[in-house]
A and B are shown apart, each in its own frame.
Chain A
C-alpha cells in the first residue's frame, strides 16, 4: 500500500475545516471526522494529527486520546472501502460466521486484513443498529442486510465495478 504523502491540498482542506469550526478545540471530534473523510485511506496520519494539535493549541497526546478512543477514527491506513461485519448479539443469532466465511473467500483475505490492491479492508464492528435486517455489514457508510451468498457476491462486485470505472 502506498505510503501517505503530505499534499498541500490536504492541509489547505484541513485549514478550511478548522476555520469552519472557528479553531474551537471543543469541536475536535467533528474536525477529526471531517479530516479523515478527506483522506482516501480512511485514517489520520501522524503529521496530520500533529498539525491539528498545533493549530488548535492542544497537546498531540490529547488528539491521540480522541483518535484511539473512537472506533470511527483510525491511526493506521485502511483500504479504500472498509467492510465492517457485525458480530454482536443479534448477528450472532443470525449466523454472522457464514457471512465472514463468504467475505473472506470472496476477497481472499482474513478478518483484519486489507486486500493487496488496497481496495478493501475487512474488519469486525460493534452493533450498528441494523438488527432488523441481520446479518448485516457496512461498507463505508452504507448498510447491507439480510445477507446471503448471492447477495454478498453481487455487493462486492458492484464495488469492484465502481473501482474499475
Chain B
C-alpha cells in the first residue's frame, strides 16, 4: 500500500497561486464543470458514493449534509468554509490555503451550486493573517476569470466568496460560535435547535464545512467516487490529510490513504523519533484528542478501528511524544489551553476547567492526594457528559485517556505515595 498519496494534495508546489491559469492547466475547475453536468442531485449522489465525512473533526457524512442543506427551503442561503483551524497540533488546512486556495474556492462553488446558495465566506483564523490576502487575491482572480461572481462558466449560477477574519478564539471553530462572531458578537455557542442548516448566519440557512472537506469534494468530482474509494478501507473510504508533529524527524502535513498503521505513519512517513529516542505516546486529533500509548501503534488509522479503542481521528493531528516527556506535565499544557479557551457560557466547562487545572497543578508539583485523582476523574466525566458544546465535551479526553493508560505517572505525583 502506498503510504503517502496525492489526491487532494496533487497540486501542492505544482503551481504559483498568483496564476489561476496554471491551476486550470492542472485540471482546475473541471470538477465544477462536471458538477454542472451532473446537476445538484448528481453531485450529492457522487459525494455520498465517495463516503466522504467531514474533515473538521465531527466526521458527519458530507453527502448527507449537502442533501439536507439542498432540501432546506429558502431564497437566500449561505456557504461557510471553516478555516478557523485552532486545534493544537493541527495545521493541515493551512497547507491547503497556502498551496491550493483555488481548490477550496472550487469546492465551495460546487457546494453552493448543489445546495442553491449564492453567498460564501471563508472564515480564516487571525493567526493565519499572512494568508488572508493570498486567499482574497485568489478569489479576485477566480472572479475575473469567470469562475466566481455572476454567470459562472456561462451558466445562470452566481456565487461570491468573502474572507472573514477570526480574532483568536479556539471556540469559534465550533460552527455556531463562528457564526456568532461573524454577526459582531463574542463567539459563544448557540442552543440547537434551531440547527445552523435552517437558521445560521443572519438566521439564514447555512452550510458550514471544513477546508479539507471542500477540497476533498472538488477532488472527488474530478476523479470520480469510484477512483477515490480505491483508497482507504471499506469503512473509511478515501484519503486523509494529517498533521504530523512533535518529537518526530519529518514533521509536516501528509495525505495518507485510510488504513495505514500508526507505526507506518510515524516511522515510514515521519522518519521516526528525533535523536533515535523511544516513542512514549501519541495524541490523536489535537489537544481534545486521546492519548495513545506506544504499544497501540499497530492500530490502523481509520475511523472504525480507532473508535473501537476509544480514539477519534478528529482534525487529523498526530502528535508524537518521546520517552523524555512526562504525561502529567503534558496534560498540564492541554489543561492550560482549555482553561484559556473555554468561553465561559456553561458551568461544567467554565468551572470544570478551572478546578481541573488547580488539581493538575498539584500533580505537577508532586503535591496531589489520592482524593485528587478521584475528583479530577469525576469532574472530567461531568464535563464530558454535561458541557454545552464540543469544546467542553472533548476537553477532558486527554486527561481521562492519560489516567487510563499511564496511571502510574499520576500515582507517582501523589504526596503520600511518592515519599
Give A residues with C-beta under 8 Å from B.
24-30, 32-33, 62, 65-66, 69-73, 87-90, 92-94, 125-134, 138, 141-143
Contact check, A30 vs B164: say whether CB atoms are below 8 A apart.
yes
Contact check, B187 vs A70: say whether CB atoms are below 8 A apart.
yes
Task: Please tell me which stretch of B40-48, B88-96, B147-155 contacts chain A, meaning at least 4 of its Cβ atoms lie within 8 angstroms of it.
Answer: B88-96
C-alpha spacing A28/B87, complex, angstroms: 25
Contact check, B333 vs A138: say whether CB atoms are below 8 A apart.
no
Contact check, B319 vs A89: say whether CB atoms are below 8 A apart.
yes
Residue of B nearest to A24 (CB): B184
C-alpha spacing A129/B126, complex, angstroms: 11
Contact check, B340 vs A141: say whether CB atoms are below 8 A apart.
no
Residue of B nearest to A65 (CB): B186
Contact check, B330 vs A70: say whether CB atoms are below 8 A apart.
no
Most chain B beta-carbon neighbours within 10 Å: one of A62, A70, A87 = A70
- Chain A residues with CB under 8 Å of B159's CB are none
Contact check, B245 vs A69: say whether CB atoms are below 8 A apart.
no
CB contact under 8 A between A30 and B89, given known A72-B126, A90-B246: no
For this complex, 22 residue pairs linking A to B, each with C-beta atoms less than 8 Å apart, are A25-B184, A29-B184, A65-B185, A65-B186, A66-B184, A66-B186, A69-B187, A69-B343, A72-B166, A72-B168, A88-B333, A90-B89, A90-B246, A126-B168, A126-B337, A127-B337, A129-B127, A131-B91, A131-B243, A131-B319, A134-B246, A141-B129
- Chain A residues with CB under 8 Å of B87's CB are 127
Chain B interface category by residue count: 35 or more
Chain B 163-195 interface residues, beta-carbon cutoff 8 Å to A: 164-170, 181-187
CB contact under 8 A between A93 and B167, given known A26-B183, A88-B287: no
Within the complex, the shortest CB–CB distance from B97 to chain A, in Å, comes to 10
Give B residues with C-beta under 8 Å from A.
85-91, 94, 125-130, 164-170, 181-187, 202, 243, 245-247, 251-253, 283, 286-287, 317, 319-322, 325, 329-330, 333-334, 336-337, 340-341, 343
C-alpha spacing A94/B330, complex, angstroms: 11
Contact of B202 among A26, A66, A88 (CB under 8 A): A26
- Chain B residues with CB under 8 Å of A90's CB are 88-89, 245-246, 319
- Chain B residues with CB under 8 Å of A133's CB are 251
Contact check, B165 vs A33: say whether CB atoms are below 8 A apart.
yes
Contact of A93 among B127, B181, B321 (CB under 8 A): B321
Within the complex, the shortest CB–CB distance from A57 to chain B, in Å, comes to 12
- Chain B residues with CB under 8 Å of A88's CB are 88-89, 287, 333, 337
Contact check, A132 vs B319: say whether CB atoms are below 8 A apart.
no
